[in-house]
A and B are shown apart, each in its own frame.
Chain A
Amino acid sequence: MSSQPTKSNAAFHPVSSPDFLPLAQLQDLQLQRLKSTVQNAYDHVALFRQRMAERDLKPADVRSLKDLAKLPFTVKADLRDTYPFGLFASPMRDIVRLHASSGTTGKPIVVAYTHEDLLVWTNVMVRSFAACGLHQGDIIQNAYGYGLFTGGLGAHYGAEALGATVIPISGGNTQRQLMVMKDFGVTAICCTPSYFLHLLDQASELGVDIRKLPLRAGVFGAEPWTESMRRRIEVESGIKAYDIYGLSEIIGPGVAMECQCQAGPHIFEDHFYPEIIDPKTEKPLPDGEEGELVLTTLSKAAMPMIRYRTRDITALTAECCECGRNLRRIKRISRRSDDMFIIRGVNVYPSQIETALLRVEGTLPHYQIVLTREKELDNMEVMVEVTAEVFGDTVGALEALQARLGKSIETVAGVRANVRLVQPRTIQRSEGKAKRVVDQRKM
């Protein structure tokens, strides 16, 4: 494999050199960093130390990258259970930034960065922008939200470090976005793909032809999107649409980014080690096979993540990319491993139903989603156990509760559901955990 970019139009940035490391060197680096990450987590994170002890493991048992498969997983619930700071490996005086993402339980999950962690983040974001051909002189409109969400500041510092001119416009105010895009000569935009589609719709209403503007690239992420959305964006706006992948638990945006070949995001493997596992058996799968993406941070100090289960279903490919990068790519995230289902054409996650129930009740009741099909029509029923906290003693109060729950589900999930109030303990629990979705439809 070549160690230099081969595509003539690829803008090579010196920071991108790890993208082209020969495999043996990359793996040496990965192993070295993995060992120190595991040691750091073991020394400073009680939960990890306890799980290692349960498996009779010590950091010294990690001798090769293959040994990673022996280590315990980390899941989103671990972040919630240890809210707010339970998984931090650094003392607060070394932590210079906190971000938080909205959780489904009402409490967010909190992530932390040391000064060095921010440098890592900036490093991968510079490489992300460089990978899609952006460079000094570009004018980047950063329409990711600034604030607790990692998208805004992550893209901001990366674009600045790249040497580009950054417009920290944040999300919202579509008319102003379009005015700035046009008047400032914006050449690239960062936002969610759905927001860009919204911008496109507004632009045509306002008579702005984005194809005539200098805008040439979009860095789109923070939500799943499809190839057909990419085609629509590219045809209607005349720009190149690139897929960036990331999640707060790992670092934020910049875990993986597409190069100009647009053949799936390359994972910045010198900082994030990817595995694909079978979500049911939890066994690692070889490259090329579809399964759940599991990520281990290799360079993060404040919050090392060992084998974090992303719940995103994808596949890794080690096939050479035309760009010359030796970083493996992920296929477009097609679905999630957490019980997502489709009803009347709408993707619904049990977590959305949880959010909806939480909004009404404050704490999460036991619930179960039952899907049925009558006369070719899908029906979703949500059974909710009535707790003492919400049990009003009149029929009217209970009917009002039922109506509020139904309305909340429709708002959050975008699909109507029949809510049925049931007695406590009527929803079966298996192995301490309830089965969330019962699909009785005969497909």
Chain B
Amino acid sequence: MIIKQISIFLENKPGELSRPAKLLAKAHLNILTLCLADTQDFGILRIIVREWEKAKALLEKNGFTVRVNDMVALEVQDRPGGLAAILEVVEKAGVNLEYMYGFTLSKAGKGILAFRFDNPEAAVTALSRKGLQPVGGLDLFERSTKVAVKGATKKTA
């Protein structure tokens, strides 16, 4: 139920995003989805890849500061209120949402969102109880092989 996410510390300067992207591309490590948080000085690139241990080792070997976090992926109905239903459950369970972002893959009528909770296990339990079953890693990565995945082509501003 828990999916591993790799966060990479980046300085906010031209070309910084392409370095990890190129490294992963060379090693044939596919980025399932990504999100970039940035300030004027620095940024945090968050990626989800299937072979996260390999990606982590590769990035660290090349001098990046890397951190692994537990994420919860959820299918969301592509209609108003889809997200609100999820948030209501976790809020009631006393779990805080730190950040979230969307996946590039989706089934018909459904999107997938990645959530970073301060207590992922508690979130999974609360959501499952309400019938909101998180998407497991295996399922997610299997889908990704069927859907064309966008690579990391975004540039830091």
Contact = CB atoms under 8 A, between A and B. Distances in A.
A binds B: yes
Interface of A: 385-388, 391-395, 398-399, 402, 420-426
B63 A423 contact: yes
A394 B63 contact: no
A392 B46 CA distance: 12
Interface in B41-65: 41-42, 44, 46, 60, 63-65
Interface string B58-87: 001001111101000000000000000000
Nearest to A395: B37
Contact of B42 (A393, A398, A424): A398
B53 to A, nearest CB: 15
Interface residues of B, number: 22
Contacts of A393: 7, 44, 46, 67, 69, 116
B41 A421 contact: yes
Contact of A386 (B9, B39, B116): B9
B16 to A, nearest CB: 8
Nearest to A426: B11
B10 interface: yes
Of all A-B residue pairs in the complex, the 5 with the closest CB atoms, nearest first, are: A393-B7, A425-B63, A386-B9, A386-B65, A391-B65
Contacts of B46: 393
Given A391-B7, A423-B10, 8 more contacts: A386-B65, A391-B65, A393-B67, A395-B39, A423-B9, A423-B16, A423-B64, A423-B65
Contact of A388 (B11, B44, B65, B98): B65
Contacts of A398: 9, 39, 42, 44
Contact of B66 (A388, A399, A420, A426): A388
A423 B44 contact: no
A424 B67 CA distance: 14
Contacts of A387: 65
A423 B11 contact: yes
A424 B63 CA distance: 6
A402 B42 CA distance: 11
Contact of B39 (A388, A399, A426): A399
B66 to A, nearest CB: 7
B157 to A, nearest CB: 14
Nearest to A418: B41
A282 to B, nearest CB: 33
B69 to A, nearest CB: 5
Contacts of B63: 423-425
A388 B67 contact: yes
A399 B98 CA distance: 15
Contacts of A391: 7, 9, 65-67
A102 B81 CA distance: 60
14 contacts: A388-B60, A388-B65, A391-B7, A391-B67, A394-B44, A394-B99, A395-B39, A398-B42, A420-B41, A422-B11, A423-B11, A423-B16, A424-B65, A425-B63
Contacts of A422: 11
Of residues A391, A398, A422, A423, which shows the largest number of chain B Cβ atoms within 10 Å of its Cβ?
Answer: A423
B59 to A, nearest CB: 11
A420 B40 CA distance: 11
A394 B16 CA distance: 18
B44 to A, nearest CB: 6
A391 B116 CA distance: 16
B27 to A, nearest CB: 19
B85 to A, nearest CB: 25
Contacts of A425: 63
B42 A421 contact: yes
A353 to B, nearest CB: 19
A404 to B, nearest CB: 15
A420 to B, nearest CB: 6
A154 to B, nearest CB: 45
A214 B10 CA distance: 65
Contacts of B39: 395, 398-399
Contacts of A423: 9-11, 16, 63-65
A393 B47 CA distance: 12
B9 to A, nearest CB: 5
Contacts of A385: 65
A388 B9 CA distance: 9
Interface in B109-130: 116
Nearest to A387: B65
Nearest to B39: A395
A333 B69 CA distance: 53
